[in-house]
A and B are shown apart, each in its own frame.
Chain A
């Protein structure tokens, strides 16, 4: 008995965590998936009723807005954060003496809660007293910057705050990548008289493909999960103009009491994450075993 126990200690130690993950991750995903195929409203029902919730979901203009916003926000957020991050990383890579201080400044937003970020930018972009008033005060009387209250532009205000928060992190990823490129190759290229911008565009950046992928995965993941930022910055408004799938799901689950819609929208989010993350994780784990 004691011997058996001794031999199986590692498994026994791991078992509670593994059981928790099985139940609270996979079991719960299963529950949500099941409920998304029922007629559940205020209370969950367990009789399968086919795709009725998904039909309701895709017939809803609010969900359509949320999905559109996810694509607009996700695309701009990822592209701008990557370009900005890469640009700053390359500039910082030129043997700057104050690099440490600058890096600290670029990255600190990542330590903040998205609620704090949203609160700060909501104030900065306040039409009456923020940037708009500031620029008007400089004499540009017709200047207008009221994105946070303009249904057409509000989602771009969310992009600004999101990029501000995450681009420093992308910079850190790229900077680490730039530093890991083989110095000998760069030296050889410099000896051959190849201009710096060519060294970057033809040698260094192509060799950082895995880092681009990592940055993309992290940013895409942040974009899909974005919830706090929208809540704090616009509350999903004006109206539901800045709803994202995450806020749609929350509204359905906790203020509308529509469990069926909450479950089906959560499953769509899950599916989006799944298609992005699984191939990545698979290749990562694959690479490690080989």
Chain B
């Protein structure tokens, strides 16, 4: 209520309208300011990567590039130094691809079949097994680093990409099983019973009833696993060697290499290249990405 408003209904209504409009304007501005806070690093990364070193030294952090150059991108992709080698990110990008694709597929497949068993073929102890697998998702991986390094050595997989695939599958199945189990648990058990009466077996029911239902959860799981594995650093840095490192490790090496002039534009271009695949997934399938995030925290 405004004190000075004349007591006519028309004016009161219009004042109320004004007040609401102003409130909404403030609300929107606050939301936009927050949006700028989240966008600022991305903006700075992109503009810095398009500037020359000279312009970075003399210009402002948030200014648009006066002269756009893709030189830094070229360097980051094919000639930046990750230590003694200077081949850019390209080989490591392909390492990550070669690592992520099999690891995602295998862990998703195992998660689907495990989730199917735990949700629909309950046997004594199934819940205990599920709880034990679930807890495995939450351990700090530091606690398994040392024995895993030795085990990979014994298996002859030390410092290799198959070794990293193995590690990501082993520590990924907890989550993938959780996703599929929670999805399949809502399928009425009568369905399986009816199929059994009709003579369908374990795999037949999975193949022709459950898999066709599973597209959404497969998308959620694949996105979740891909993001986790692509962005992983701890396993990558612990279990790889020169030549087999994933992209996150190579990026860190480029940024923290101490030789020569610090090329901030190359660092930023490299960071964007490392981020592009997961960003792309997020832009294309954000809905499923969020579902995976919340499914991992709010178990239903």
Contacts and interface: CB of A to CB of B under 8 A. Distances in A.
Interface of A: 6, 9-11, 13-14, 17-18, 20-22, 24-29, 31-32, 35, 44, 88, 91-92, 94, 96, 102, 104-117, 119-124, 126, 129-131, 133-134, 137, 164, 168-169, 172-173, 176, 210-211, 214-215, 217-218, 221, 224-225, 227-228, 231-232, 235, 245-246, 249-250, 253-254, 259, 262-263, 265-267, 269-270, 273, 277-278, 281, 284-285, 289
B113 A211 contact: no
User: Among the interface residues A111, A112, A133, A210, which one has the most CB atoms of the partner chain B within 10 A?
Assistant: A111
Given A21-B132, A32-B146, A131 B138 contact: no
Given A107-B290, A115-B248, A120-B45, 6 more contacts: A25-B174, A113-B233, A116-B231, A173-B294, A225-B140, A266-B145
Nearest to A172: B290
Contact of B44 (A24, A124, A224): A124
A227 B61 contact: no
Interface stretch (B66-74, B80-88, B250-258): B250-258
A10 B210 CA distance: 15
A266 B142 contact: yes
Contacts of A113: 230-233, 248, 251, 274-275, 278
B25 interface: no
A31 B181 CA distance: 30
B282 A281 contact: no
Given A6-B201, A21-B133, A270 B143 contact: yes
A104 B281 CA distance: 12
Contacts of B207: none
B132 A28 contact: no
Given A29-B139, A88-B31, A112-B278, A228 B267 contact: no
B298 A25 contact: no
B131 interface: yes
B27 interface: yes
Interface secondary structure of B, over-half rule: helix
A17 B60 contact: no
Interface string B171-185: 101100100000000
B44 A13 contact: no
B279 A112 contact: yes
A209 B24 CA distance: 28
Nearest to A270: B143
Given A35-B146, A112-B275, A120-B45, A281 B297 contact: no
B164 interface: no
Interface in B256-300: 256, 264, 267-268, 270-272, 274-275, 278-279, 281-283, 286, 289-290, 293-294, 296-299
B38 A173 contact: no
Contact of A25 (B56, B136, B233, B296): B136
Contact of A91 (B31, B256, B289): B31
A273 B233 contact: no
Q: Kindly list the 9 A-B residue pairs having the minimum CB-CB distance in the complex, ordered from nearest.
A: A113-B231, A10-B121, A111-B282, A228-B233, A25-B136, A28-B144, A266-B142, A28-B147, A120-B41
A18 B35 contact: no
Contacts of A232: 252, 255-256
A118 B35 CA distance: 19
Nearest to B300: A288
A127 to B, nearest CB: 12
A108 B110 CA distance: 29
A221 B293 CA distance: 14
A218 B297 contact: yes
Contacts of B256: 232, 235
A176 B31 contact: no
A115 B127 CA distance: 37
Nearest to B173: A17
A14 B282 contact: no
B202 interface: yes
B38 A273 contact: no
B134 interface: yes
A211 B298 contact: yes
B279 A21 contact: no
A259 B145 CA distance: 11
28 contacts: A13-B114, A13-B202, A14-B126, A24-B144, A24-B171, A26-B136, A27-B147, A28-B147, A91-B27, A105-B39, A106-B38, A107-B282, A109-B38, A111-B279, A111-B289, A113-B230, A117-B41, A133-B60, A133-B61, A173-B297, A210-B298, A211-B298, A217-B297, A269-B140, A273-B140, A277-B135, A278-B135, A284-B299
B86 to A, nearest CB: 19
B118 interface: yes
Given A96-B28, A129-B56, A211-B298, A20 B145 contact: no
Nearest to B250: A115
A126 B41 CA distance: 13
A116 B271 contact: yes
Interface in B27-73: 27-28, 30-31, 34-35, 37-42, 44-45, 48, 56-57, 60-62
B238 interface: yes
Nearest to B125: A11
Contacts of A259: 146
A35 to B, nearest CB: 7
B279 A102 contact: no
B21 interface: no
